[in-house]
Chains A and B, each alone.
Chain A
Amino acid sequence: MRKTSMFKVLSLVLSAAVLLPGSVFAEGSGVNMDEQTVRIAIPFDPSTMEPWATMGDGRIDVIRHVYEYMFDYEKIGGDLLPSIASGYEQVDDTTYRVTIYDNIKDSAGNPITADDVKFSYESTIEIGNQAIGVNTIDHMDVIDDTTIDFVFNTTAAGAFANAMTNTAIVDKEAYEADPDHFASNPVGTGPYVMDEFIPGSSISFTKRDDYWQSEEDCARLSEANIGHVIYKVIPEASQLTIALESGDVDIAYYIASSDTHRFEDVEGFHLAALPKDLAEVILFNCDPSNVFASKELRQAVCYAIDSAAVLQTVYDGAGGVCKTYGSPLFADFNEKWNEEDYYDYDADKAKELLAQAGYPDGISVRLMTDNSPVHTRMAQVLQSMLSAAGINVEILSYDGTLINTYRFDPTQFDLYIANKSSFDYITSVWKFSFDQVAYKGKTLNFYVDEDLQKMLETALDAKTHTEENIDAVHYALKDLALGYGICYGTNYIAYNDKVSELAIDFKTRVVGGACIFNPEAFE
């Protein structure tokens, strides 16, 4: 009798919770769930809609709906496609004259002029969160309402393109009038307006009726092919998959490779595999006091790593093996490197080099890694591989911030796992690790080599960014083995029948509203 009463009470509580009207608790997404809505699951929180905040993964996923840039890359390091800007001409080595459209208006109806462009860049530089893309700008001169000169402090290849594709353009008065600086209520020139942003949960957009650009001149990624776009933040990998299977979302990013079989060749679902531009690499501590000051020892480690096996273990074989210090997706990657030896796995050679380095009986080293699942697995695989070659590895696992701090301290590690990419060229990937100007006269991993620096600077310069010079740096880095590119993975995006074609930007992110949809699936 007592049990029956208890179950009745429980049933009542559960039923009340299920049936209570939504008005009691505010509905999370806040938009009408009509048929012309695409729902997209992403694992990372956009965090803020401020135009020039740090570009985390979640922000990159959604920001393109509200804000636009001067140009879009066709692909990494590829041609520039007009967006806010209608074209440009190079005036001299460091000066570019850019023309913007004369009819640009943001979602609040404010016209965008060259003064707003200048303000947007100056703010980005001053705030400093996206310094990598804009710190090459020396100054800007506004010529008239639609023309602006960008003067750079360098002739580096990609400097102009990087600057043009990384700063959101907003209206100066509107931005300054908002005490929140658009963090919660963004006003941009993009084809959508933000309806609601619940940090950590969801963000929704509605198509603008008054979008400024004409259909024929509209940039591919600025197309608005559906009325509403809702991004749902689902950090847990299996829940991401379940959300798509249960129809809660229509597109899901970053599907785990172990879950791809649930969508591959399954009726009603499609799977896109996009190779990552982010390469998994190791960097050696080349400080003179460290054991890895020895080139032979560095080379021994490179030979002891079976990159294909690492790829198989860490990414289930989805992706590729690196043939330089970086992934092969960049425009200046030389295809011939794919045919060449790049420390292809050779245990005997590793042992031989270990002996040459003065460690015939083996050595113990400290491998630093962040505690992400991918890098943790990779560290364990490397530990096992290096152990077979006689190198005993102690794994030091830290959170991401600690890694970013300790990597500047040569006493903290002997080698570490990192991932490296750039916005444009493979030479930029090398620059971010081995430019001795950026790290006070040493590479990121404490190596000093004037010849290497000269070679790198030559390859980075737009006028001498030639195959020959890029080759020279590649072969020098390969010989010195300051770092070693292991492999790169694949991003899986699964979607249902409502989507017929994904719109993907150069950062390999889906721009939800610009996808092409299948109207029949909405009926």
Chain B
Amino acid sequence: MYRYILKRLLLMIPVLIGVTILIFTIMYFTPGDPATQILGSNATLEQLEAKRQELGLNDSYFVRLGRYMKDVFLHFDFGNSYINGRSVSKDIFSRYPQTFIIAFFSIAFALLIGIPLGVIAATNQNKLGDHVAMLISLIGVSMPNFWVGLMLVIWFALELKWLPATGIGAPRYYVLPCAACALNGIASIARQTRSGMLEVIRADYIVTARSKGQTENKVIYRHALCNALIPVVTSAAGAFGSLLGGALVIETVFAIPGLGTYMVSAINNRDYPAIQGSVFFVALTFSIIMLLVDLLYAFIDPRIKAQYQGNARIKV
């Protein structure tokens, strides 16, 4: 198992080098001059040329790439933002906690509601419970989260004055953004749980469990649900990884300084160090989450754990 983890960690190195080269190359060929954004629309050609020279934008692709790779992989330095002059690493780390809180609680909230909804739907297939659960999930999927966010604000912040409409700080600031962000997740997790449950609920081992006289709850939650969870975990992990890359709409609506708004602003301004640093960070986070998910599979499904251990033994 440890060997498997080490192998996966080592594999992350070429992935990150590849991502760094790829994003650098994409930005190199993306039209748009950062100097014009820094100096504004009234700058003269001479001033723009001086700024480009200062930023090293006139150097060749290989010189710039080499310089950047050296800074990132030898000094772990993503450089300073063209726009605000601050260290990109500092900026990312100051925004990451907000993004993490939203991503974590949104997914937790979605799992907490989505899985029971899916189970209710599957165990009551084609009955009232199924229709109600699927209707709720259909509504959840259909409503755009920026609209839900604004509705929540009008009701809970403006009318009832229970919760703040915007900003960051105490936990209550995160309740509305997380609720708005979780809604789509609830819907998709409920549908996936239902579909997974319907597949396993007719399996032989479930019939065996029932014939052994186990209670229905035990059959559903211990035998069926565990086996139906693999695709749900995969989907939730993917959603979690995407949210860690920034929930742009939610961050904008609730004025939360997260990674999503940072990246979009950087892209709009052609702030190369900020874009490259953010993408690197998102790739790193995503790789780690995928590793954790693979390990989680082993805990959910003993067959997978046996596979990991078996592979390790073969290698030895």
* Interface residue ranges, A against B (CB under 8 Å): 2, 6, 9-10, 13-14, 16-18, 20-22, 24-29, 45, 47-48, 50, 53-56, 128-129, 131-132, 135, 180-181, 183-184, 198-202, 232-236, 238-239, 242-243, 245-246, 248, 399-402, 404-406, 408, 418, 420, 422, 432, 438-440
Contacts and interface: CB of A to CB of B under 8 A. Distances in A.
A233 B257 contact: yes
A242 B165 contact: yes
B256 interface: yes
A458 B4 CA distance: 77
A17 B165 contact: no
B261 A180 contact: no
A183 B112 contact: no
Nearest to A238: B150
A27 to B, nearest CB: 5
Contact of B85 (A27, A53, A55, A128): A53
B193 interface: no
24 contacts: A17-B105, A17-B171, A18-B172, A25-B169, A27-B169, A28-B173, A45-B257, A45-B265, A53-B84, A54-B38, A131-B39, A132-B42, A199-B91, A200-B256, A200-B258, A200-B262, A234-B255, A236-B252, A239-B253, A239-B254, A242-B158, A243-B165, A405-B33, A406-B31
Given A50-B85, A405-B33, A24 B171 contact: yes
Contacts of B13: none
Interface string B24-64: 00000001111011111111111100110010000000000
Contacts of A21: 170
Given A2-B120, A198-B257, A242-B154, A29 B169 contact: yes
Contacts of A404: 32-33, 36-37, 41
Nearest to B120: A2
B37 A25 contact: no
B163 A18 contact: yes
B45 A22 contact: no
A128 B51 contact: yes
Interface in B243-261: 252-258, 261
Nearest to B175: A17
Nearest to B258: A200
A20 B109 CA distance: 17
B40 A54 contact: yes
B269 interface: yes
Contact of B167 (A48, A54, A183, A201): A201
B174 interface: yes
A185 B94 CA distance: 15
Contacts of B174: 17, 25
B215 to A, nearest CB: 14
B125 interface: no
A355 B39 CA distance: 41
Contacts of B161: 246
Contacts of B153: 239, 242
A100 B71 CA distance: 44
B268 A239 contact: no
B223 interface: no
B84 A199 contact: yes
Interface in B168-194: 168-175
A13 B255 contact: no
A465 B154 CA distance: 54
A74 to B, nearest CB: 23
B298 interface: no
Contact of B45 (A234, A238, A438): A438
Contacts of B254: 239
B54 to A, nearest CB: 7
Contact of B165 (A28, A50, A246, A400): A246
B157 A246 contact: yes
A400 B253 CA distance: 22
A169 to B, nearest CB: 19
A71 B39 CA distance: 23
Contacts of A2: 116, 120
A134 B38 CA distance: 16
B251 to A, nearest CB: 9
A13 B182 CA distance: 14
A10 B43 CA distance: 56
Contacts of A47: 83-84
B305 interface: no
Contacts of A180: 86
Contacts of B231: none
Contacts of B150: 238-239
Interface string B293-305: 0000000000000
A300 B262 CA distance: 43
A404 B36 CA distance: 6
A407 to B, nearest CB: 8
Given A54-B39, A246-B157, A128 B47 contact: yes
A28 to B, nearest CB: 3
A248 B113 contact: no
Interface in B75-102: 83-86, 91, 94-95, 101
B270 A48 contact: no
A129 B84 CA distance: 11
A405 to B, nearest CB: 4
A6 B38 CA distance: 53
Given A234-B255, A236-B252, A10 B165 contact: no
Interface in B108-152: 109, 112-113, 116, 120, 150
B270 A401 contact: yes
Contacts of A50: 84-85
B262 A439 contact: no
A202 B36 contact: no
A401 B168 contact: no
B166 interface: yes
B164 interface: yes
A406 B83 CA distance: 20
Shortest Cβ-Cβ A-B pairs, 5 listed: A200-B257, A28-B169, A404-B36, A48-B84, A438-B44
Contacts of A233: 255, 257
Contact of B42 (A18, A236, A239, A432): A432
B175 A18 contact: yes
B39 A20 contact: no
Contacts of A245: 158
Contacts of A408: 45
B66 to A, nearest CB: 25
Interface string B212-249: 00000000000000000000000000000000000000
Nearest to A28: B169
A399 B171 contact: no
Nearest to A5: B116
